[in-house]
Each structure stands twice: as structure tokens, then as C-alpha cells.
């Protein structure tokens, strides 16, 4: 990473120094530095601001060295930090594939950063050339989500690599759904490629949306910048403990993923046979996009049956599309039974 990409105030920033970071090594007999209450263990103590134990375990599970890992309060924190670290409000801009995950634009708007969407083609793909064409001297970030939300497909790897090779700013590749994909994820390249940031989350395959734990993988200077700008104790103790418990048994997650992929196949086939459905798009995630004859009508009908899907009809390239999350066997059966009765 080129340090001139960093906002000048952030490059100069002296971060908050946590009480517990200022000593090291010695045997502790009394912790009287942080104005904590001595009672109510273990919740009386501030959690590890750098989540060392959890990062060591994530390093093993994800195959990325601990010093190349940032942990956030959901991926959403890492997304926001990309703006706060790299983008000057009112001056810098970012380029993103379109359609994609809504938070990239919301965070751009909140941070006063110009957001430049570049439309995917009919196969929901993009060429590196089309993304790079929209960049100028003030483009700090390019957002690529793969597998992409809401389209479900992986973005062509050769094009992502071309962007990485030819763009001077940071390329953020959001791999929130990579555990559902048969493609090799990019995250292990993040430690070696200076301008790559890869995002992962515990919210999808790991079944932990409630604990709010997201990850960013990048070269060490980028991780250090994120650590400097984040809230000191951004990952609470309960989240760190629960994540460690989940990561102790990755086979449980693998089992869930296999079941979800089997269900996905059945559900997509059944959708393709529905008279209300015009087309089911291929997917590498735990959801799929279905083009309906009348998405609004099917969406409203399903709401009446207590079945909630995502209506994407007003999203670019997604006219008349519903985004269907693959649920449990029971939930999927409920969805299909309802749609088979729609008239």
C-alpha cells in the first residue's frame, strides 16, 4: 500500500492508548489501571482490544497470518473503516460494481464520498477495463463483492486480478459468501498483495449474525491503520468467547453448508418449475435470484402467508426479481407450498 492513499489526518493520528496496552510482560498482582470494578468477573474487565486469542484461531481456520487480520463489529465496521481511513470527504471517490451490497453506498454517503456504480453485464459480470475507466486521480477504493449480493454469482477471477494489477488504490473484495462457493477464495493473497483488502464474516456460513463479527484480511500496514481508527474495544467479550466456541468446531459449519447447498439445488429446481417464475439465475451463495412474472405480486402474496423474501425489483438489472435465502427444509417447503397455491 502506498501511504499517500491514506487520509492525511489519519496518517498523522495518535490513536487512543488503552490502559492495558501500556505495560507488558510483568506478572500482574493487581489491575488498578482502568477504573474497572473488581467484582463481577469476567465481565468487569475490558476485553482484549486486539483480540489476540481469537485472531490466532481465525488464522488457523482461514489460513491467513494473525497480523494480517482485522476484526470488526460485523463486516460493516470494516466497510466503514475503508472510507474513514482512505477517503477525504468531498474530494475522493470510490468505484463499485452495480448492483451489489447496499452498505458500500450507504457508507459512502455517510462519509461524504462520491460513489460511482458501474453496471454489470447480462451475465452479472464485469471487465477490469470498465471499472478502471471510471477511476481518476481521486479514486481510492474499488468495491467488488464475490460471490455478489444480490446476484449470487462469483465475479470472474481474471478480471479481479487485472483490477488488482492495474489500480493504484485499494481493491476491496467482499467474500461474505465464499464458504458456499466451490471457487478458491482470494483471502490468502491479501497478505502479499499490497492493495487488496478481503472481507469475511461470521454472519452467514458460520450462523452467527447475532454476535456481529466481521473480518478484514490485508497487508500489515492496512491492518495497523484500521486498528488505529477503530473504537478501542470494538469486539466485546461475549462475541470473542462465542466466536472461539464456534471456531473450535469448523465441521459443524461445513455440515450446515452442505445441507444448505443440497436444499439450494432442490429449491432452485422447484422454482424453475413454478408458473410464476420466468428464470432462476445461477448462484455460488446461500441465496439465489429468481425473475418472476410479477415480483411485487408474489412478494405481497408471500407476506400475506408470513413468508418473507427480498424484493429486488427496483434494483439495477433485477427488475421483477426476488432474492430467496435458502432456509431450513421446513422453511423451504413452506415457501414452495405457498407459491404453488398462488393464483
Ligand X SMILES: *Cc1c(COP(=O)(O)O)cnc(C)c1O
Secondary structure letter of residue 42 according to DSSP: T
Contact status, residue 73 vs residue 109, Cβ threshold 8 Å: no
The H or E element spanning position 117 is strand 114-119
Bridge-based pairing state of the strands 321-325 and 287-292? antiparallel
Least distance between ligand X and beta carbon 71 (Å): 11
Complex with ligand X: residue 68 or 75, whichever CB lies closer: 75
- Our CB check for ligand X shows the closer of 129 and 282 to be 282
What's the closest the beta carbon of residue 337 comes to ligand X, in angstroms? Answer: 27
Q: Of all residues in this chain, which one has the CB nearest to ligand X in the complex?
A: 74
Residue closer to ligand X, measured from CB, 226 or 339:
226
> How many Cα atoms within 13 Å fall on the side-chain side of residue 329?
4
- For ligand X, the closer of residues 73 and 276 by Cβ is 73
Distance CA(45)–CA(255), nearest Å, equals 36
Name the minimum Å distance from CB 238 to ligand X: 16
CA atoms lying within 13 Å on the CB side of residue 101: 23
> Rounded to the nearest whole angstrom, what is the least distance from the CB of residue 273 to ligand X in the complex?
27
Binding interface with ligand X (CB under 6 A)? 74-76, 101, 145, 149, 174, 176, 201, 203-204, 209, 214
Specify the residue, 108 or 339, whose C-beta has the smaller distance to ligand X.
Answer: 108
The answer to whether the beta carbons of residues 234 and 83 sit under 8 Å apart is no
- Rounded least distance, CB 283 to ligand X, Å: 13
Integer Cα distance of 33 and 268 in angstroms: 58
Nearest to 195 by CA among 223, 173, 164, 228: 164
Give the CB-side neighbour count of residue 221, counting CA atoms within 13 A. 15
CB of 211 to ligand X, least distance (A): 10
Nearer to ligand X, 7 or 204 (CB): 204
Residue 300 CB coordination number (10 Å)? 11
Amino acid at each position: 500500500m502506498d501511504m499517500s492513499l491514506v487520509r492525511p489526518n489519519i496518517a498523522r493520528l495518535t490513536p487512543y492508548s488503552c490502559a492495558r496496552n501500556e505495560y507488558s510482560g510483568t506478572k500482574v498482582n493487581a489491575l488498578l489501571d482502568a477504573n474497572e470494578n473488581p467484582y463481577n468477573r469476567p465481565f468487569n474487565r475490558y476485553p482484549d482490544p486486539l483480540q489476540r486469542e481469537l485472531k490466532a484461531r481465525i488464522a488457523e481456520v482461514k489460513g491467513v497470518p494473525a497480523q494480517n487480520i482485522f476484526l470488526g463489529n460485523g463486516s460493516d465496521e470494516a466497510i466503514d473503516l475503508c472510507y474513514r481511513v482512505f477517503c477525504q470527504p468531498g474530494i475522493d471517490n470510490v468505484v463499485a460494481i452495480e448492483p451489489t451490497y447496499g452498505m458500500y453506498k450507504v457508507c459512502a454517503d455517510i462519509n461524504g464520498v462520491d460513489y460511482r456504480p458501474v453496471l454489470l453485464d447480462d451475465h452479472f459480470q464485469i471487465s477490469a477495463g470498465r471499472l478502471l475507466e471510471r477511476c481518476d486521480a481521486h479514486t481510492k477504493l474499488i468495491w467488488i463483492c464475490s460471490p455478489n449480493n444480490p446476484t449470487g454469482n462469483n465475479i470472474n477471477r481474471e478480471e479481479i486480478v487485472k483490477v488488482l494489477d492495474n489500480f493504484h488504490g485499494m481493491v476491496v473484495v467482499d467474500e461474505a459468501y465464499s464458504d458456499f462457493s466451490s471457487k478458491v477464495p482470494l483471502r490468502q493473497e491479501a497478505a502479499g498483495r499490497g492493495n487488496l483488502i478481503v472481507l469475511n464474516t461470521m454472519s452467514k456460513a458460520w450462523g452467527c449474525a447475532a454476535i456481529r463479527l466481521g473480518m478484514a484480511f490485508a497487508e500489515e500496514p492496512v491492518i495497523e491503520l484500521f486498528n488505529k481508527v477503530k473504537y478501542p474495544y470494538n469486539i466485546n467479550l461475549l462475541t470473542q468467547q462465542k466466536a472461539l466456541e464456534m471456531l473450535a468446531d469448523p465441521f459443524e459449519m461445513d455440515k450446515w453448508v452442505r445441507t444448505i447447498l443440497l436444499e439450494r439445488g432442490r429449491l432452485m429446481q422447484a422454482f424453475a418449475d413454478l408458473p410464476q417464475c420466468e428464470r432462476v439465475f445461477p448462484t455460488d451463495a446461500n441465496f439465489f435470484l429468481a425473475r418472476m412474472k410479477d415480483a411485487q405480486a408474489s412478494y405481497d402474496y408471500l407476506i400475506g402467508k408470513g413468508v418473507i423474501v427480498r424484493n429486488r425489483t427496483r434494483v439495477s438489472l433485477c427488475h421483477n426479481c426476488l432474492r430467496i435465502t435458502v432456509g431450513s427444509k421446513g422453511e423451504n417447503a413452506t415457501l414452495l407450498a405457498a407459491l404453488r397455491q398462488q393464483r
